[in-house]
A = this chain, B = another copy of it.
Amino acid sequence: MCLDYYRIKSAGATHNIEVKPESLDALVTGFFDGGLALQNMMIAAQSVGLSTVTIGAIRAFSDEIRTELNLPEHVLPLVGLVVGYANTEVSVTPKPRLPQSATVFFEQYDDTNIVADVQSYDEEILGYNATREGQKSTAGWIEKTAGFYTKNVNPKFVNQLKNAGFKLEE
């Protein structure tokens, strides 16, 4: 799945309208709308008995995909989606989610209990990771998720965005 401002740019040109989709606001809007579309695709697949796996890692190979798929300027790969039939021989326990107390606030953001709530969730995930079907792990959620963000996950991304025609200054 790609973000595509090339299409409206091409169509605008036929009306003598010069489309400028290089801004950061246009970029994040494209990612957000991609999320909306992908969730619909996943739910639609599920509704006809198919299962999906989202491949976020393709962002790191944006330039390579640009070449392989012949993507024009202002088209940018967002995610890949594998569609298929899930292995039903493994019974899957849904992964617990963060408690609402750590994710939903009323009137104002309130971080009073946020660390305690996340620590409690961390304990829950430690148990889940140790006993779930399939790939087990001894890592908690905090260690794994915080560890993921100790550095820039995709240091090539700024250049990839520039290669796709985004300016990132405005």
Taking the closest CB of chain B, its distance from the CB of A14, in whole angstroms, is 6
- Known contacts A27-B28, A32-B34, A70-B109; is A149 also within 8 Å of B14 by CB? no
> Which residues in chain A, 98-115, are within 8 Å of chain B measured between CB atoms?
102-103, 105, 107-109, 111, 114-115
Q: How many residues of A contact B (CB 8 A)?
A: 74
In the bound complex, residues from chain B placing their C-beta under 8 Å from that of A153 are 23, 25-26
Taking the closest CB of chain B, its distance from the CB of A102, in whole angstroms, is 6
Instruction: Report if A87 contacts B (CB, 8 A).
Output: no
Q: Which of B20, B115, B155 contacts A10 (CB 8 A)?
A: B115
| Copies assembled | 2
- Known contacts A24-B161, A157-B24; is A109 also within 8 Å of B11 by CB? no
* Alpha-carbon separation in the docked complex, A157 to B29 (Å): 12
- Known contacts A35-B34, A35-B35; is A14 also within 8 Å of B142 by CB? yes
> Which residues in chain A, 43-91, are within 8 Å of chain B measured between CB atoms?
43, 56, 59, 69-72, 75, 78-79
* Alpha-carbon separation in the docked complex, A102 to B6 (Å): 11
In the bound complex, residues from chain B placing their C-beta under 8 Å from that of A40 are 39
Instruction: Report if A168 contacts B (CB, 8 A).
Output: yes
> Which residues in chain A, 105-153, are within 8 Å of chain B measured between CB atoms?
105, 107-109, 111, 114-115, 118-119, 122, 142-143, 145-147, 149-153
